[in-house]
Amino acid sequence: MVGPMNAGATDIAQARAKRADSVVSLKREPLTVICQAANIRADGEVHRQIGFSDALTFNELHRVLRICFGLPEEESPWHFYEHTEARGPRIDPERQASEFLWREGDQIDFAWGLWDFELVVAEIYPRDNGTPEALCVGGSGSLFQPFELTSVNRELTGQEVTDEVFSAVSSPVRDLIERTKLYDFVPLLQAMDLGRDTDLSPHIARVLASLPREVTHEGKDAFWSMALALSCMGGVELTDSVVETTMDALGWVNDDGTALTAAEVRELCAASLQQLARIGAYGAESAAPVDRLDMYRALLRG
């Protein structure tokens, strides 16, 4: 999910022009839309950053917003509207998001009962088949219940997808996610498309199969936490944040009770990281991202 919107703009623009006449089927590269969604009132603000497939209908997008904002499941009147200075025309709930949200800055409005929300496109990226249909990236504030990102994404992902992902990963990875309750890893693993064929040399495959080298419970947890963090394919700051959060959720701390730093976690699984560095999966001399991703797939799947 990297890169700017680079395809399908013409088709989407044509569909937008025709949307008053009929529901159209769009044939173009699928995209992921990142929206800033907000409920702004005189006494407070609630914000969510949500990524979703532009192929979702507004019926489906309604469900995503309900989950992300913690709106009650009880029936309440809801509608999407085109954004104008006054309230614009209603949007047919069977239409696709791509017909209205196809460039940065596009905005629509959503009304649920007496609550009003605005959705503004922040970014648009190409997507592949493994990308989750919807994911809450972050947020602040709450309306009816406290905002818990992990719980939101677990509900968005659904039990069926979670079970499917768990059936594809190795038992230590599944065990770690269940122990930490960090179900945000499920969409990551889904997006990695663990079932995809990997093109690894016999030597690299043997090294990966030999991991982890650690024998203590703490060392093994440190290694699998690092493996998941590295699979995020982010920079050092993101990797450090993920691994520290994971080890903290597992309950590992220093002897004095302080939280483990990323450097300390790396030290706990230094033997395994040395092996990953030898094959280019980690460190300053690491291989190209596409090659590292193949290694992480082989490492994490069952």
pLDDT confidence of residue 28: 58
Output the pTM of the full model. 0.69
The pair of structure tokens assigned to 164 is 């499917």
pLDDT confidence of residue 129: 67
pLDDT confidence of residue 43: 86
**Torsion over CA of 264, 270, 276 and 282, rounded to 10 degrees?**
30
Q: Write the CA distances from 80 to 83, 111, 112, 240, integer angstroms.
A: 9, 6, 9, 40
Instruction: Count CB atoms within 10 A of the CB of residue 300.
Output: 24
Q: Of 89, 90, 104, which is closest to residue 54 (Cα–Cα)?
A: 104
Name residues whose C-beta falls within 8 Å of residue 215's C-beta, 6 or more positions apart in sequence: none
Q: HEC string of 77-141?
A: CEEEEEECCCEEEECCCCCEHHHCCCCCCCEEEEEECCEEEEEEEEEEEECCCCCCCEEEEEEEC
| Successive 10-residue mean pLDDT values, the chain, 302 residues | 35 34 50 94 92 95 96 88 86 95 94 94 84 89 91 89 93 96 88 89 96 97 97 90 95 95 98 97 93 96 84
Q: Of 271, 272, 270, 228, which is closest to residue 250 (Cα–Cα)?
A: 228
Element (H or E) spanning 3, and its range? none
pLDDT confidence of residue 13: 31
pLDDT confidence of residue 76: 86
What is the Cβ-side half-sphere exposure of residue 160, based on CA atoms within 13 angstroms? 1
How far from chain centre, in Å, is Cα 87?
Answer: 32
Report all structural domains of the chain as residue ranges with CATH numbers, in order of start.
9-157 (3.10.290.30), 174-300 (no CATH)
For 215, which DSSP code?
Answer: -
Strands (E) across the chain are located at 31-41, 44-53, 78-83, 87-90, 107-112, 115-126, 134-140
Pairing verdict, β 44-53 and 31-41: antiparallel
| Amino acid, single-letter form, for residue 260 | L
C-alpha 68/C-alpha 70 separation (Å) is: 6
Pairing verdict, β 87-90 and 78-83: antiparallel
